[in-house]
Amino acid sequence: MQCHDPNEELVNQKAEIFANGFWHNNAIFAQLLGMCPLLGVTTSAENGFWMGAATLLALVCSNLTVSLIRGAIPANVRIPAYITIIAAFVSIIEMAMNAWMHEMYLILGLFIPLIVVNCAILGRAEAFASKNTPINSLVDALAMGSGFTFALVLLGGVRELLGQGEVFGFDIFGADYPDVLMFILPPGAFIALGFILAGVNIINRKMKARKDKQAAILATMQTADLNTAEVQS
Is residue 166 a contact partner of residue 172, using CB atoms and an 8 Å limit?
Answer: yes
Mean per-residue pLDDT, 171-200:
87
DSSP state of 233: -
> Which pLDDT score, from 0 to 100, does residue 88 have?
95
> Which pLDDT score, from 0 to 100, does residue 123 have?
86
pLDDT grade, residue 218 (50/70/90)?
confident
Percent share of the chain, pLDDT over 90: 40
Specify the pTM. 0.85
Question: Alpha carbon 216 to chain centroid distance?
Answer: 31
More confident call, 151 vs 179: 151
Q: What is the rounded CA–CA span in Å between residue 144 and residue 121?
A: 9
> Which pLDDT score, from 0 to 100, does residue 20 have?
87
Kindly report the average pLDDT of the chain as a whole number: 87
Mean per-residue pLDDT, 110-138:
88
Is residue 137 a contact partner of residue 48, using CB atoms and an 8 Å limit?
Answer: no
Mean per-residue pLDDT, 199-226:
84
Mean per-residue pLDDT, 78-98:
94
Mean per-residue pLDDT, 194-204:
91
pLDDT grade, residue 80 (50/70/90)?
very high
> Which pLDDT score, from 0 to 100, does residue 124 have?
87
pLDDT higher than threshold 50 for residue 1: no
- Helix 78-100 with 45-68: angle, nearest 10 deg: 140
pLDDT higher than threshold 90 for residue 39: no
> Which pLDDT score, from 0 to 100, does residue 5 have?
63
pLDDT higher than threshold 50 for residue 2: no
pLDDT higher than threshold 70 for residue 44: yes
pLDDT higher than threshold 70 for residue 232: no
pLDDT grade, residue 8 (50/70/90)?
confident
DSSP 61-110: HHHHHHHHTGGGS-GGGHHHHHHHHHHHHHHHHHHHHHHH-HHHHHHHGG
SS3 185: coil
Mean per-residue pLDDT, 130-138:
91
State the pairing for strand pair 166-167/170-171.
antiparallel
More confident call, 139 vs 31: 139
Q: What is the rounded CA–CA span in Å between residue 17 and residue 15?
A: 5
Is residue 40 a contact partner of residue 153, using CB atoms and an 8 Å limit?
Answer: no
CB count within 10 Å of CB 39 equals 17
pLDDT grade, residue 48 (50/70/90)?
very high
